[in-house]
Structures are given as C-alpha cells and as structure tokens.
A and B are shown apart, each in its own frame.
Chain A
Amino acid sequence: MFGLEKRDANLLIAVGALVLLAPIFLNPFPEGSALAQFNAGYPDLMQRFVIFGIFAIGFNILFGLTGYLSFGHAAFLGAGSYAGVWMLKLLTINVIPAIVISTLVAGVFALIIGFISLRRSGIYFSILTLAFAQMSFALAASVLTPITGGETGLQTALDDPRILDAANESRNIPAPSLFGLHMNDSAQLAVGDWLWTFNVGYYVAGIVMLAAFYVAIRIFRSPFGMMLRAIKSNQQRLNYTGLNTRPYMLACFVISGMYAGLAGGLMVSMDPLAGAERMQWTASGEVVLMTILGGVGTLIGPVLGAGLIKYFENIFSKINDNLLHQWFSFLPQGLEDFVVTIIHPFIGKGWHLTLGLMFMAVIIFLPGGLVELGQRASKLFKKRNPPQTGGQKEPAE
C-alpha cells in the first residue's frame, strides 16, 4: 500500500490512528478529577507533539541513517520560523505559503551550512554545526533585528501588507488560517465527565506530520537511504565501491534541514511568533535528546521521544508541593513531609532532573531507546516475537 511493505504500511496506519484519536486518548482522566492535570489532550500541547515529531523525524534522517550528529539543527527550525512569519506578514494569513516557503528557506540555509560543515566528520562536524547555529542565534538576536525582530521576536501585526488578502477591516490581527479555517478554532465534545478538544491547527499539523512520516519511511527503504546507512557503517568501503559520499551527505543534510524548516513553519502557523531563542543550542540539544530517547535510526522512535519530552516539559513541570501533599496525605504527617521533601527536587522546575536521570537510564540500559523497550516488552509477552513496536528489527539498525 502506498508503495510500502506491509509492515511499514501497518506502522503508518497505526501512527495515523494515533494522530487522529490523540485528542481522546491523551485525555484519559475525567475533567475535574485529581488526575486531570495529567491530561495532555489540549491543542497547544498536542500541536507541539506533532510539530516536534516532524523536527525529530527529520533529525533522525540525518543522525539515525548517517550517524552524523548535527548539533545545530535548531538553526533550521528558526530560519523556517522567521520565513513563515514573514510570509504571514507579507503574503497572506493563509498558512500554506508560510509552510512551503519556510521549508524551502530552511533547505537553502541547510545547503550552505551543510556544504561547509560536511567537509569534516565526527566531532568536528558537530562543532561546526553548533558554531553555525550559535552564530545564527546571535545574529538573529542582534544585527539582524530588522529581519528577525531581535530579542522581542517577530510577529504578525495589524498593519502588515498581506498583499494577497482582502483589506483587513476588523481591528484585530488576523489569526493564521487555512482557507478560512482558523488554526486556533476548536470543537469540544463532552462525553460523560470527559472533555475532548478537536483543534483545527492540531489536525493540520498532524496531517503534515503523517506526510512527513510517510516520506521518511520511503527514504529509509530507498537505495538512497541504504547508501546513507552504508556511510554510517563504513565510509571508506563506500568510497572504494565507487560512490561519492559527499553529495549523499549533502542531500541528506538538506532534507533533514527542510524537515526542521517545515516544523518551524508549522510552529508559526499555530502561533505567529518567532524568537531568536528558537535557534539556541539548547533547542538543538533537545532534538538530539528526543531522537536518542525514542530510538536512533528507528522510524517511530523520534516521534515517541518528542512526545515524551514535550509531555514532561509541560505536564511534569506543573506538579507542585501542594499537590504532592494532597497525594501523600494518607501518610502520617512526618512521613508525608519527608516523602514530599524527597520528591520535591524532581518535580516542578526540577523536571529537567527527572528527564536527565531518565535519559541516563535509557542510554545505559536501553541504548535503542523507547523502541527497544517496546521490543523487549513484546518479546516478554510473546515468545514468538513478532516485530510489533514498529522499530526495525533489521540488522541495519
């Protein structure tokens, strides 16, 4: 189906179903219940899940296939974001030009950075990409203020030209839309105590993510993808086999950069605001974490990793001491205070600590990330061991 092997097609359908039904199963707890704050089914967070999923899928095409660790991928996310906002300002509030142009701009940007950075491999490549990204960040925050809005960031305004749109008569800044469908529009459905929100922006981003995921599967299974894996495995042999690794690497880098630009374009389509911090090295590091946490070189891993990290960032960070006291109120007073004191550093602003520990545990015990966890679990449950989690069981990974 769609030119995919059965197993890949099943994976795509499974991911499609997850994206479609996410607003429902991400809200497993009834509204108003004590656990309701663990619900992740609100538009802003769900949009982030899929957009960062795209970012990580693209990063994984580079890192997972070729083993080249780019530490400056946020530069392309940022470049895409700026390009997207400019399209929303100059052309039209329709998100399509913004998404397309941001992908292309990031691609051109990646072509330039990749052309230079790919002269080196290993740690030197990582440092070069990091240097470029930090340079872009610094420029965006200072010298390039007329283009980037400097530290305040770039956003849409009431007096933007928007040459393709009809004159704006209302006194409000228009919201990004897709042929009249506003990205921030939502339909809510209450079933019993549960409240589900179906958001236009989320579904637009979700469909784009599915398309991006589909393209990634095709790349993984193509001769081009096989050559990229060969680069990771033995670049010397590939050279002596008559293949020029440089154009392969550059093409891969540009594709990966375009994924990041696409994610940036979607980000500003949901919320038309781009700031320089989006290019900072922490943002580049985040996508590395996502990919490794989910499973490097696997198809579904980066999406899972992106989801997990964004969930932690948004949900785990909200837990505070009061809540802990509520949860542990069944314990005797002294013990309750003790337990809360112990847990305190790991929650709220300390969510990074929890994430860090989890990351270390994954690196040490599960080098294959969440996908490996899934594979081990399915091995435990089924002795026959069908490859179920969508991770690839081929020797290539």
Chain B
Amino acid sequence: MGILEIKDVGKRFGGLQALCDVNLSVAENTCHAIIGPNGAGKSTLLNCLIGKLMPDSGSVMFDGKSVLGRSPYEINQLGISRVFQTPEIFGDLSVLENMMIPIFATRDGSFSMDAMSNVMSQKDIAEAADKMLSEMNMLDKRNMQAASLSRGDKRRLEIGMCLSQNPRLLLLDEPTAGMARADTNNTIDLLNEIKQERDITIAIIEHDMHVVFSLADRITVLAQGTPLVEDVPEKIKGHPKVKEAYLGETH
C-alpha cells in the first residue's frame, strides 16, 4: 500500500480521452517518476492530484484520504507540496518573507487573523525560515526581492518553501524545464540530497531522461493516457515499449 494510490482514474476532454484507467501506486519514501511523450496525459494526471481537475472516474487516495474534490490549500494541509514548472514564488516579497509564509501556513493552518503582531517578532518562524534558507545556501540573499533572483535560485527557493512545510509528498512538475545544463545538474544534486536526508516521498513528472534516471527509484511510462510500463530505471532504459512510445512507432 503506497502513500499515494491512484485507482482507475479516467478523464475525458470532449472527444479526447486524456486519461484512461490509470493505476499507480507511489511507495512511501521513494522517488517515483512519471514520464511520457508529449500529450501522454502527464499534466492532466498531475492536475487531478492537486485539486485543479476533477477526474471523471476513479479515486486518488493520499495516506488513506481522498484528495478528490478538495481545494489546493486543503491538499497542501494534508501534506502534499507542489513545485511548479516555472518557479511560483512571491516575486514582490523578500526571500525571507517567501520562506516565512509556508512556515506560517504549517503552524497556523489555512487562515489566521493575526493582524496586530509584527511578522519579525515571531522568533520561531524567523528561525525556521533562516534554517531552511541556510540549508538551501540562500542565507546571504534573504533580504533580496524574490523576483530578482536567478532562475536557478528561484527554483531552490521554491523547493525550500515546499520543504519548510515538512511535506510527506513532494510533487515536482518538470522541475528542470527550460534550465541550463549546470542549473539542471544543481537541481538534481539538490533533490538527491533531499531524498537522502529526509523522510520524504517524491513524485516527479519529467520530460528530461537525464533527470529522471538520476533521481527516480521507480518509473512509470505514460502513453496516450494509460500507464505503459512501470519498473525500476535500469529496466525502463532498454524497454522496447518505451522506445516505441517515444519514437512514435505506434500502429
């Protein structure tokens, strides 16, 4: 029984069957990658996991609780944090404030009417934020405006923000899309570090084979809305069905 159980999920957009009978189980404290060619339904599947889309059929259970029909903030409060394809951070706020907000959300829940105390006087939050920033090697940038960070730093900040909540599941949506090689490798190193140091389950949706094979413990290949193969990376590498799906030799 995995921490994330996807059962018989189907989703249809008009005439297009985007997902069909998707069954997937992500085991706790592993890194599970979902790969597939363009249009395989990776993003649709992800959107079903995080409350953005409601599948037509099937169920998605996280730690025994259904995530379907919940809002994004409720899903986060269950322990799922999401990293976006393009880093989603609070660009107008300082790096430190960016890091404090998720910590507040974890401590105080989805709403807290704390309008009279000073943000900076909350020592526990500030300490936790600084600790996370130093883990991300960003302590020297704490007073910078987040929008002025480099692309790689924005990604680090976003991942740090997610980790500061101590999530049980980290969802990554093409975390290295559009990155230079060096930044990509940095991100891979960072994620590998996280994997080793924390009890965390990672689900990653990726295009880049290099990233997937450096990170994943298990890989599911999605093609035309259904899982094609699921196995360990070594087996996936030379799998004929996978080659077929990627090279487009379907009949």
Contacts and interface: CB of A to CB of B under 8 A. Distances in A.
A237 B50 contact: no
Contacts of B16: none
A244 B119 contact: no
B93 interface: yes
Contact of B73 (A4, A221, A239, A394): A239
B111 A243 contact: yes
A5 interface: yes
Nearest to B121: A3
A223 B90 contact: no
A241 interface: yes
B62 interface: no
A247 B118 CA distance: 20
Interface residues on B, range: 35 or more
B3 to A, nearest CB: 18
Contact of B102 (A3, A225, A242, A251): A242
Contact of A233 (B82, B93, B120): B93
Nearest to B148: A395
Interface string B91-128: 11110010011101110111111111111101000000
Contacts, number: 125
Contact of B100 (A221, A226, A234, A394): A226
Interface string B75-88: 01100011010001
Interface string A228-271: 01101110111111111101100100010000000000000000
B105 A229 contact: no
B115 A225 contact: yes
Nearest to A223: B114
Given A222-B118, A223-B114, A240 B93 contact: no
B76 A241 contact: yes
Contacts of B106: 242
B114 A222 contact: yes
Closest 8 pairs (CB-CB, A-B): A395-B145, A242-B76, A224-B115, A242-B105, A233-B90, A244-B110, A233-B92, A237-B88
14 contacts: A3-B118, A219-B115, A223-B114, A223-B119, A223-B122, A230-B101, A234-B90, A237-B84, A238-B90, A240-B50, A240-B72, A242-B102, A242-B106, A395-B147
Interface of A: 3-5, 218-219, 221-227, 229-230, 232-234, 236-245, 247-248, 251, 255, 394-397
